[in-house]
């Protein structure tokens, strides 16, 4: 066992040395990358101050790609985007800076500016959370504290407006539903009136048809004025015949009377002389 350990020990020592060297080289590379990234950031800052935005943007991007430890480059690029009202790009860079930053002052600035982007977008509740995070990293910053109070007030106002808007929409919907219901009731009433009118017309037509049928004689039946008279009731023809008979009798009587007037009174038989 001792012999084995004696053989393995140099290898373990060599491994540790090699690992240490590798870590040292990695550290040096990271430091070198960070140094190059900072140099590019400095160049970008200079270009930005000279209003050479395109060149500055390119150098900031190169600086960010060189080192993941440089929080200044994304923060400065985010500030440049913010000034140009490119809020979506600005927020992304501030968020990146806040994730990379190891020191609290850098985190404070990143979250403070994220809050500013939310305020620009009228996302006040998100702004409140961003300013709170900024104050956790620097509780003494009065500007952040003021912005937090303002964001809270605007968030409350926005909530009230949203509630009022929802209530207004609800009232409008209820009003529209009521109008729709009234319209449907009106249409139902009109339809009912039309139906009742149609039914009444049909009923009237039906009654009229019944009267017509009643007035018309059935097949094989004489008209009303030609029907046989009821008992104890003379028909017009019988009355006419009766009047004519009476007139004839009266005429006969008159003729007889006239004859008597012409002939004169009957005389007795004359005596013989």
Q: Break the chain into its structural domains and give their ranges.
A: 29-152
User: What is the rounded distance in angstroms from the CA atom of residue 22 to the CA atom of residue 28?
Assistant: 10
Average pLDDT for residues 204-220, to the nearest whole number?
Answer: 61
What percent of the chain is modeled with pLDDT above 90?
47
Q: Give the model's pLDDT for residue 137.
A: 97
Give the mean model confidence (pLDDT) for residues 60-86: 96
At 152 the pLDDT is 97
pLDDT at 170 over 60: yes
Q: Of 261 and 265, which is predicted with more confidence?
A: 261
Average pLDDT over residues 205-228: 56
Confidence check: pLDDT of 261 > 70: no
What mean pLDDT comes out for the span 51-57? 96
Q: Is the pLDDT of residue 47 over 80?
A: yes
Q: How confident is the model at residue 10 (pLDDT cuts 50, 70, 90)?
A: low
Residue 11 has pLDDT above 50, yes or no: yes
CA dihedral 258, 261, 266, 271 (to 10 degrees): -140
CATH number of 29-152: 1.25.40.10
pTM score of the predicted model: 0.57
Summarize pLDDT for 127-152 with one digit per residue, the tens. 999 999 999 999 999 999 999 999 99
**pLDDT band, residue 268 (cuts 50/70/90):** very low
DSSP string, the chain: -HHHHHHHHHHHHHHHHHHHHHHHHHHHHHHHHHHHHHHHHHHHHHHHHTT-HHHHHHHHHHHHHH-SS--HHHHHHHHHHHHTT-HHHHHHHHHHHHHH--SHHHHHHHHHHHHHHHHHTT-HHHHHHHHHHHHHH-TT-HHHHHHHHHHHHHHHHHHHHHHHHHHHHHHHHHHHHHHHHHHHHHHHHHHHHHHHHHHHHHHHHHHHHHHHHHHSPPTT---GGGSPPPTT---HHHHHHHHHHHHHHHHHHHHHHHHHHHH-SPPPPPPP-
Instruction: Tell me: pLDDT of 96 over 50.
Output: yes
pLDDT at 58 over 80: yes
- Among 32-36, 78-82, 181-185, 252-256, the range scoring the smallest mean pLDDT is 252-256
Supply the pLDDT for residue 117: 97
Look at residue 135 in the predicted model and tell me its pLDDT. Answer: 97
Question: How confident is residue 252, by pLDDT bands cut at 50, 70 and 90?
Answer: confident
């Amino acid at each position: 066992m001792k012999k084995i350990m004696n053989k393995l020990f140099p290898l373990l020592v060599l491994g540790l040395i090699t690992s240490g060297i590798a870590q040292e080289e990695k550290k040096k590379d990271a430091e070198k990358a960070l140094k190059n990234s900072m140099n590019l950031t400095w160049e970008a800052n200079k270009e930005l101050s000279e209003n050479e935005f395109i060149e500055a943007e390119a150098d900031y991007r190169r600086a960010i790609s060189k080192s993941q430890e440089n929080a200044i480059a994304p923060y400065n690029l985010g500030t440049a985007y913010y000034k140009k009202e490119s809020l979506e790009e600005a927020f992304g860079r501030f968020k990146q800076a806040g994730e990379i930053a190891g020191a609290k002052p850098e985190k404070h600035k990143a979250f403070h500016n994220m809050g500013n982007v939310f305020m620009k977008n009228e996302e006040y509740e998100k702004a409140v959370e961003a300013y709170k995070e900024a104050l956790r990293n620097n509780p003494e910053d009065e500007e952040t504290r003021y912005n937090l109070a303002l964001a809270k007030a605007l968030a409350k106002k926005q909530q009230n407006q949203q509630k009022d808007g929802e209530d207004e929409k609800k009232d409008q919907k209820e009003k529209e539903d009521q109008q729709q219901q009234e319209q449907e009731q009106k249409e139902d009433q009109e339809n009912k009136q039309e139906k009742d009118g149609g039914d009444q017309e049909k009923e009237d037509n039906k009654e009229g048809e019944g009267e017509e049928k009643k007035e018309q004689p059935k097949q094989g039946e004489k008209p009303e004025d030609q029907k046989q008279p009821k008992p104890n009731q003379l028909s017009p023809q019988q009355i006419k015949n009766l009047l004519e008979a009476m007139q004839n009798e009266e005429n006969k009587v008159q003729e007889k009377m006239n004859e008597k007037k012409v002939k004169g009174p009957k005389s007795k038989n004359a005596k013989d002389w």
